[in-house]
């Protein structure tokens, strides 16, 4: 009897501890969000989006150049990664049993585990050293490499979820494999793939380490891809480490913009996935 009581007490205690673990993890989340929103909102204004950085000591100014820079560098990364990732994902799912497909899966997972700073060192070696200058292109290469495994694996996973009957129907009607894949299978999985790409973009746009010595930084506004380019994340890094309260406030504002972007993408993705699930259940 006593032993049973003890077992019950232990069981309840563990259940309690597990619930406590959830709360414990939510505390830092709440704290980070609270400080980013409260500190960020008080320093965020219209000028942050439209004005250029001011020299030290001069109040005001914004991160217009860095915001545009982030969009450009992330866009470059997407342009590089999306076609390659899509095609490789299609290969991995179409020829799923083949040795190359297994190798691609392995390579993508490996690439996904490579620390972002190491990706930065690699991009520096192939896109900065040969041209002897930091450039937006080098930053795009670094972010593209970060995105590549995400796009590849998402594409593959979602193509595998498409019911085989769809593909078989297309093939039975005499479609070639390429035709069946591009007009039937991929469109069926497209909403999911786009959601995955959206999440990959959000993740990569928040990266700092691969940009430190590829896109580097720039005090001025530029859209020249061969020039060093300021990005939101790198700018936040320098401002947060500075000793000037004005710059530190701007770092908080930048952090808020980043969090808002990530949050928006996550919520959008969540809605899209929920809709797809409803559709699948209904079908």
Partner 1 sequence: MISSRHTTKIRPDEIIFRAGTGVFAVLIIGVVAAIAFELYRQSKLSIYHFGWQFWQTDSWDPVAGEFGARPFIWGTLYSSILALIISTPIALGIAIFISELAPGRLRLPLVFLTELLAAIPSIVYGVWGIFVLVPFVRQLEVNTPEWLKVLPVFKGPPLGVGMLSAAIVLSIMVIPFTSSIAREVLKAVPQAQREAAYALGATRWEAIRMALFYARTGIIGAVMLGLGRALGETMAVTMVIGNTPQIAASLYAPQYTMAAVIANEFSEAAQELYLHALVEIGLVLFIITLVINMMSRGLIWSLGRQKNPRRARRILSTPAPESA
Site for partner 1, residues 111 to 170, rule: CB under 8 A: 111-122, 124-126, 129, 145, 148-150, 152-154, 156-158, 160
Considering only residues 182 through 221, tell me which ones interact with partner 1, judged by CB under 8 A.
Answer: 192, 195-196, 199, 202-203, 206-209, 212-213, 216
Number of residues in contact with partner 1 under rule CB under 8 A: 107
Going by C-beta distance under 8 Å and a sequence separation of 6 or more, which residues neighbour residue 279?
A: none
Minimum gap (Å) between residue 55 Cβ and partner 1: 21
Considering only residues 22 through 81, tell me which ones interact with partner 1, judged by CB under 8 A.
Answer: 22, 24-26, 28-29, 31-32, 35-36, 39
The answer to the question of residue 105 lying near partner 1 (CB under 8 A) is yes
DSSP assignment of 46-65 equals HHHHHSPPPPTT------HH
Considering only residues 238 through 257, tell me which ones interact with partner 1, judged by CB under 8 A.
Answer: 240-241, 248, 251-252, 255
Minimum gap (Å) between residue 22 Cβ and partner 1: 5
The answer to the question of residue 173 lying near partner 1 (CB under 8 A) is no
List the one residue from 110, 163, 226, 279 that touches partner 1 (CB under 8 A): 110
Tell the residue number behind the tokens 């390429």, with chain if given: 178
């Amino acid at each position: 009897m006593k032993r049973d009581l003890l077992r019950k007490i232990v069981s309840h205690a563990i259940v309690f501890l597990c619930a406590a673990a959830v709360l414990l993890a939510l505390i830092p989340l709440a704290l980070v969000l609270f400080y980013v929103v409260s500190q960020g909102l008080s320093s965020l204004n219209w000028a942050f989006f439209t004005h250029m950085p001011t020299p030290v000591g001069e109040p005001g100014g914004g991160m217009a150049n860095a915001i545009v820079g982030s969009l450009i560098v992330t866009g470059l990364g997407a342009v590089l990664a999306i076609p390659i990732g899509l095609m490789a994902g299609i290969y991995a799912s179409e020829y799923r049993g083949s040795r190359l497909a297994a190798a691609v899966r392995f390579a993508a997972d490996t690439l996904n585990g490579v620390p972002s700073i190491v990706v930065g060192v690699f991009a520096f070696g192939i896109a900065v050293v040969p041209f002897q200058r930091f450039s937006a292109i080098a930053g795009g290469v670094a972010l593209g490499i970060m995105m590549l495994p995400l796009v590849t694996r998402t594409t593959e996973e979602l193509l595998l979820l498409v019911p085989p009957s769809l593909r078989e129907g297309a093939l039975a009607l005499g479609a070639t494999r390429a035709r069946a894949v591009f007009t039937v299978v991929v469109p069926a999985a497209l909403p999911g793939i786009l959601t995955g790409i959206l999440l990959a973009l959000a993740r990569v746009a928040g990266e700092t380490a691969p940009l430190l010595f590829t896109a580097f930084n720039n005090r001025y506004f530029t859209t020249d891809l061969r020039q060093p380019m300021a990005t939101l994340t790198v700018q936040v890094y320098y401002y947060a480490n500075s000793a000037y309260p004005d710059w530190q406030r701007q770092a908080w504002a930048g952090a808020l913009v980043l969090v808002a972007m990530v949050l928006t993408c996550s919520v959008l993705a969540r809605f899209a996935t929920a809709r797809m699930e409803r559709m699948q259940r209904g079908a």
